Structures are given as structure tokens and as C-alpha cells.
Amino acid sequence: MRLALFTVLLALIGCTDAQPDVEIAEETMSADSTADLSSFFPEGTVGAFVLYDAQSGITTRYNPERAAERRPPASTFKIFNSLVALDAGAVADENEIIEWDGVDRGSTGWNQSQDLVTAFKQSSVWVYRELARRVGRDTLQTWLDREDFGNATIGEEADLFWLDGSLQISPNEQIDFLRRLHAGDTGFSDRAMNTVKEIMVTDTTGGAVLRGKSGWALSETENLGWWVGWVEHGNETYFFAITVENDNLEFEMRGARLPVAERIMAHLGVR
């Protein structure tokens, strides 16, 4: 079983969230397998973990009720946002340069002109807000509805809805969308899907390919971390979604998600 490679890869990948991105329940999905993994989350945190084994068709969940609860996607929405930007022509391709507006946003990685590849890797919120404005509310809403993406709600600000709590999605729904993206079974063009899948690559250690995106939602009332994606080794594919939440707004979320994943994988015997 190649799940051990997933653990190794997670240990090698660093968080790209330079800054934080700024409960609606769905019907709980039937769990194929559940496990009490609460002891592997840092003190004071709660969360959910979902793993889908594409070979066996088995989904393993920790905290299945929370795995069915929707939360703001934060920067994990950059996967969807990139697909929309490409198909709507907001950028010609992944190499088109989006000029920096000169505003200092407190991050060296953000304070520069970027293309889609660097903006995704740097998790540059200002770039994706600009792309959302170029796409426009109507197109964004149409494609959110078409893909049944979470609650498909934009809210008041068409360039902030994935950050301000308007748009919400559950770990279960994240897995569903990732599975369809991997299979090429969305309404987006093959060109857009293939480009985004390449942008999502974060590591290729040991012949395995890890694709994913982290997210961090921090507000006056919420400190939420995400990590979603999939790992491929040959014909074997595993999809994952992790959330970690802490009421303490000072809790260092950026470094919490990967250690949680490592401990969970070790407990599941995949090291």
C-alpha cells in the first residue's frame, strides 16, 4: 500500500500561506470507516480528516459530523478560482503576468508582479481578487451553481466571498470536487483542468506526485486551517481533506495542519 508515500510527502511540503485569508450543515455522508483521531490534534483544536482511497473506494473519516459541516474554503478556493480565470479568459494562460499595484501587503512573495503559477504557490490573495473582478459576479455565480460547489454563495463582495464567510464548503464536498477534477469530470475545459492540476503539484519525491492547496481563514471569531489535495503513485490515488480549528486567534495555524496529517497517517499504519 502506497499510503506511506503520502505521509512522507506531507512531511516534505511546507505551508505556502504567507498570510491568513480573511455553520451551514450538509446532509452527513455515509461513512465507510471512522476512527477516533482526536488525540492527534493539538490541544485546544478540533477538526476533521477525510481520506478517499480510489482503489478500494473506501472513505475514512475522523469526526464525520464535522466533515459534513461547511466552513469558508479560504485559499483552497484558489483551485476553483484558477479554473474559472482560465476558462473565462481573465488570463490568457498560466504565464500571463498580473502587474503588482504597488500596495505593500506585508509579504515579499505578494509584493511583486505574478503569473497564475506564482500566485497559486504564494497564495497571493490580491491576485485572485483581481481575477475575480475580471471574471465578474455573474460568471462566478453561474459556475459555482454548475459545479454545485459548497453552498455556491457569493455574498456582497464578488472578490471576497471565499474569504468573508459567504462561500462555505465541507471536507466531504472538497473531496467530491477534487475527485471530479482528477477524473476530468467537471464543466471546465480540459485545458483549464490540466493546467490547474499542474499548478497544484507541490512535490514529486520518490516518484509520487502530491497536488494540493492549503488555506487559512482568520477573523475576529475564527481560526481555521485547511489542506486539501491528492497523491498519485502510478495508478494509485488517494484524496485528502483536513481541517483544524482553534478558538485562540493567536494559535499558529500555518504549522499545525501537516503535523496533524503526519500523526494521523502514522496512527493508521501507513508509515
Give the residue among 204, 209, 212 at the shortest CA–CA distance from 241: 212
Query: Of the listed 75, 123, 124, 214, which one is catalytic?
Result: 75
Question: Is 161:154 a contact under the CB 8 Å cutoff?
Answer: yes
pLDDT band at residue 20, thresholds of 50, 70 and 90?
low
- Mean residue pLDDT across the chain: 86
Q: pLDDT digits over 144-179, tens only?
A: 999 999 999 999 999 999 999 999 999 999 999 999
Phi-psi bin for 112: left (phi > 0), alpha (psi -120 to 50), beta? beta
pTM (2 decimals)?
A: 0.87
Cβ-based neighbours of 229, under 8 Å, separated by 6 or more: 178, 200, 202, 210, 211, 212, 213, 239, 240
Q: Is residue 64 pLDDT above 70, yes or no?
A: yes
Three-state SS at 33: strand
Q: What is the tens place of the pLDDT at every residue in 114-139? A: 999 999 999 999 999 999 999 999 99
Half-sphere exposure of 108 (CA within 13 A, CB side): 0
For residue 239, the SS3 value is: strand
pLDDT band at 7 (very low <50, low <70, confident <90, very high): very low
With b for 16 or more beta-carbon neighbours within 10 A and e for fewer, the 204-215 pattern comes to: eeeebbbbbbbb
What is the pLDDT at residue 210?
A: 87
Whether 75 sits among the annotated catalytic residues: the reply is yes
The pLDDT confidence band at residue 266, using thresholds 50, 70 and 90, is low
Q: Check residue 27 and give its pLDDT.
A: 39
CATH class of 3-202+232-259: alpha beta
